[in-house]
Amino acid sequence: MINAERLKLHSIQENPLAVTDRDIRLDHVVSEADSGRRLDQVAASAWPEFSRSRLTEWIRAGALKVDESTAKPKLRLREGQQLVLRARLEDRPDSPEAEPMKLSVVYQDDDVLVIDKPAGLVVHPGSGNTVGTLVNGLLHHDPDLAALPRAGLVHRLDKDTSGCLVVARTPIAHRRLVEALKQRAVKRRYLAAVWGEMIAGGSVDAPLGRHPVDRRRQVVRADGRPARTHYRIQQRLAGATLLSVNLETGRTHQIRVHMQQIHYPLIGDPMYGRRGSPAGLTEAQREAWRKFPRQALHAWQLEFEHPVSGAPVRAEAPIPEDLSRLISILAPDPVAAEDA
């Protein structure tokens, strides 16, 4: 619930605040430093918990006034003028339906959720997936997420990738987590089971962009967006390697494409992987390999600075049963071998 206690943590001294559920009552006096600046700019500086577009909407609707008078977003302000915001956080018009769903929560407080997403669950509603998505379940878990973009989700996982997803529960948490991702201040660690027995870890620095023909796919291309992936050996397996992968950037399908690029594609990857199984496996190993139903990728750990308190947050999603079973079957011995 978006309430006074959540928002008071940010601005109780500079921005006298009263909030009841989604009702907002905020005041701000224009300082000498802000004199001559535009109303929308000053409002965005005073209340960073709300997006510039949302504040502009409130100005135009008369919910954000200057000295009790309506004004335009471009109005130049003077020192001593008072901004008065009386608004309500409404559900976004594009908000999908809430649906009961069993969610695995690995971390939760008033500002942040971290969900352990199972493989097979679509994150966002889209063409052919208007119901039964994680967003639908999140809106049932916390109806106030309907007031936030994408129900508070600040990043995503592919349908068949399992593991940690962070969700912001307040406007300021959302803005700060999005900014933290842009600044690469959110550490994301994955487990990936790949074809081939690697000798050592390394990094892939290769820009990614859409395939020129198949728009569903990503490819390495010179004019793509910068993408960097770091990997190290977590465990050596029969015909395969379990990797611990850290993302420096977060491009679509980044791990899957980068592993294909260095000729160690993910086991079970239907888009970037290989068919069949390598030579030298036992019959049980070959069967487990061929029947693995998805790309062998799990968003294992998330580390970030809490967007409100600043305290370190570390969340971990247990290895799912299907990947754990595959690793167990392919393990030549129970002792993991890590890079130095």
In order along its 340 residues, the chain shows pLDDT tens digits of 333 333 333 333 334 444 434 678 889 999 999 999 999 999 988 887 677 888 999 999 999 999 999 999 999 999 999 999 998 877 776 678 899 999 999 999 999 999 999 999 999 887 767 789 999 999 999 998 988 888 999 999 999 999 999 999 988 888 889 889 989 999 999 999 999 999 999 999 999 999 999 989 999 999 999 999 999 999 999 999 999 999 999 899 999 999 999 999 999 999 999 999 999 999 999 999 999 999 999 999 999 999 999 999 999 999 999 999 999 999 976 444 444 3
Q: Residue 10: what pLDDT?
A: 36
Specify the pairing of strand 297-305 against strand 23-29: unpaired
The most distant pair of C-alpha atoms in the chain lies apart, rounded to whole Å, by 79
Domains of the chain (ranges plus CATH)? 4-88 (3.10.290.10), 105-330 (3.30.2350.10)
Q: Residue 93: what pLDDT?
A: 67
Q: Residue 22: what pLDDT?
A: 67
Specify the pairing of strand 202-205 against strand 228-237: antiparallel
Q: Is 110 a catalytic residue?
A: no
Instruction: Exactly one of 111, 116, 144, 158 is catalytic; name it.
Output: 158
Q: How many helices (H) and strands (E) does the chain have?
A: 8, 15
Q: What is the pTM of this model?
A: 0.79
SS3 44: helix
Q: How far is CA 98 from the centre of its chain?
A: 20
State both tokens at 103: 């969610």
- Opening angle at CA 60, ends 56 and 65, nearest 5: 90
CB crowding 71-84: b at 16 or more within 10 Å, else e: bebebebeeebebe
CA distances from 246 to 255, 299, 303, 312 (A): 9, 10, 11, 18
Q: Residue 264: what pLDDT?
A: 98
Q: Residue 320: what pLDDT?
A: 97
State both tokens at 230: 């770091």
